[in-house]
Amino acid sequence: MTTFSFSLHSTETGPLATTSRPDVLHIPLDGMTPILGVGDQVLGGTKVALANADDEGDMHAAFAGTIRAVHSYAMVIEVQGKERVSPLEPCADTGDQLRSWLKDKGVCVRHLVKAATLILNAVPPEPGISIYDTLLRDHRKTVERGLEIVQRIVEPNAMYLAIAKGNRANAFTNCTVVHIPPVYPNGLDPLVIRAITHQEVLPGMLPDNGTILSIKDLYLIGRIMETGRSLTETVMTINTENHRVAVGTPVGFLASQIPVTVQPGDRVVIGGPLRGLTAVNLEQGVGKTASGLQILHPDEAMKTTDKFCLGCGECERHCPARIMPGLISRCAEFKQFKRAETYHIHSCMECGLCAYWCTAGRPLLQYIRLAKYELALLAGAALPPRPAAETLIKSQSGDQPC
Ligand code: SF4
Ligand code: SF4
């Protein structure tokens, strides 16, 4: 079994580095409708796609260039010439007008709602992801700028800053610091919400009259104000270093920046070690929500099997949602997706602990994600776009179906 620490203590990684400009961007279009086509010229900050959901941010190009291809799953832009930017008009509004302005500039506004309680989550989402500490330590002014904008929408009566116990962080004005036990998965939103409000919410839901944003959310909103351009970047821990990365940068290019040579059989994972998703190929571009990138050699990646469930209950013992991952995985295995709902599949926060501890090495998280996907289709959701089969990395022995 792959072993690693579950500690959420800060791993000091030095300042935030800015990744160099790639020659090409592969901007993810999942849940987006492109508004420009092949041959169109763009500037840094030009809007290229509209979000299909009301609370998702629209998509913009990070650099000037020419659109070379538009697939259902990604837009390919050849980066050309000097950096030229499409500047923003500043927004002095508050409330819903400011919320709409941020959505137009690329920000997901799902949690930007008026609420009495505002929770700022600075607990690392996974072991090894250390961006929050770096942002709080070295980019505090930008984070505070983002917080000021958020406060103009949320208008909270009470503010809490959740940090992993033992990590250093100064509170913001009128903000109470809450120390969270520094063990994975305590940084996931539902668990931070429970620790502060004593309310249990389903993943993706908000507590009564409360909302939650991460330090990264605040930083990225602050960057829009500082740079005067739409949201076209994310912040990621790449192996052990923290980087500011343009949205759409191919994972293969990022790997070359560390530098790491990706060998046949390696797995490039976007996200952290327990919840991350394997990139389908080295051209895949990172999205706005990417917080980590890891290159796992075959002996480091978690191995899975197609063995049957032993009914040992080990997965249940480690599940923070207190559900039965083994039973749910069997529902998914035998295509009884609706039955998985009777076992509270929607309470699963996709922490991956059940898969890590499974005695039989079953791919429990993948089964759960498959069942959720099938249930969403049954509920009428549109099929998410996928690259053509020939562009996928050839499956390696032991690969997890993500
Ligand atoms: S991933 Fe597994 S352990 Fe984690 S919440 Fe879901 S069912 Fe429970
Ligand atoms: S840990 Fe694995 S083998 Fe044991 S009950 Fe859970 S799914 Fe079944």
Is 188 near ligand 1, meaning CB less than 6 Å away?
no
Give the number of other Cβ atoms within 10 Å of residue 253's Cβ.
22
- What residues does 161 pair with on adjacent strands? 120, 177
- Integer Cα distance of 61 and 247 in angstroms: 8
Look at residue 395 in the predicted model and tell me its pLDDT.
37
What string of pLDDT tens digits covers the 402 residues of the chain? Answer: 455 689 898 766 678 999 999 999 999 999 899 999 999 999 999 999 999 999 999 999 999 999 999 999 999 999 997 777 767 777 888 899 999 999 999 999 999 999 999 999 999 999 989 899 999 999 999 999 999 999 999 999 999 999 999 887 778 989 999 999 999 999 999 999 999 999 999 999 999 999 999 999 999 999 999 988 999 999 999 988 899 999 999 999 999 888 778 888 899 999 998 999 999 999 999 999 999 999 988 888 778 888 999 999 999 999 999 999 999 999 999 999 999 999 999 999 999 999 999 999 999 999 999 999 999 999 987 766 655 555 544 433 333 333
- Integer Cα distance of 368 and 155 in angstroms: 37
Is 143 near ligand 2, meaning CB less than 6 Å away?
no
| 130 contacts 237 by C-beta, under 8 angstroms | yes
CA of 378 to the centre of ligand 1 (A): 22
- Integer Cα distance of 364 and 101 in angstroms: 40
Ligand nearest to the CA of 329: 2
CA of 141 to the centre of ligand 1 (A): 36
Instruction: Transcribe 121-132 into DSSP letters.
Output: E-S-SSTT--HH
Look at residue 381 in the predicted model and tell me its pLDDT.
75
Is 190 near ligand 1, meaning CB less than 6 Å away?
no
Give the number of other Cβ atoms within 10 Å of residue 356's Cβ.
22
Give the burial class of 204: count Cβ atoms within 10 A of its Cβ; 0-12 exposed, 13-18 middle, 19 or more buried.
Answer: exposed
| 11 contacts 130 by C-beta, under 8 angstroms | yes
CA of 363 to the centre of ligand 1 (A): 12
Where does residue 228 fall: left (phi above 0), alpha (psi -120 to 50 degrees), or beta otherwise? left
Is 401 near ligand 2, meaning CB less than 6 Å away?
no
Nearest CA among 381, 383, 333, 328 for reference residue 350:
328
Residue located nearest, by CA, to atom 3 of ligand 1? 319
Instruction: Transcribe 28-56 into DSSP letters.
Output: E-TTEEE-S-TT-EE-BT-EEEEESSTTS
Look at residue 344 in the predicted model and tell me its pLDDT.
97
What is the amino acid identity at position 203? P
Is 201 near ligand 2, meaning CB less than 6 Å away?
no
In degrees, to the nearest 5, what angle opens at C-alpha 52 toward C-alphas 238 and 205?
Answer: 70
| 318 contacts 274 by C-beta, under 8 angstroms | no
Look at residue 304 in the predicted model and tell me its pLDDT.
85
Extract the tokens encoding 391. 């562009």
Q: What are phi and psi of 376, to 5 degrees?
A: -65, -40
Look at residue 399 in the predicted model and tell me its pLDDT.
35
Q: What are phi and psi of 68, to 5 degrees?
A: -100, -25
Nearest atom of ligand 2 to the alpha carbon of 330: 7
Residue located nearest, by CA, to atom 4 of ligand 1? 351
Residue located nearest, by CA, to atom 2 of ligand 1? 354
The 8-class DSSP code of residue 284 comes to P
Q: For the chain, list the domains and their CATH numbers.
A: 95-224 (3.40.50.11540), 305-402 (no CATH)
Ligand nearest to the CA of 333: 2
Residue 93: C-alpha distances to residues 105, 118, 151, 220, 222 (Å): 14, 20, 12, 19, 16
Is 275 near ligand 2, meaning CB less than 6 Å away?
no
Look at residue 389 in the predicted model and tell me its pLDDT.
52
Ligand nearest to the CA of 360: 2
Is 381 near ligand 2, meaning CB less than 6 Å away?
no
What is the amino acid identity at position 230? S
Nearest CA among 92, 49, 84 for reference residue 63:
84
- Integer Cα distance of 392 and 41 in angstroms: 28
**Ligand 1 pocket mutation pick from 302, 364, 369 by most atoms within 8 angstroms of CB:** 364
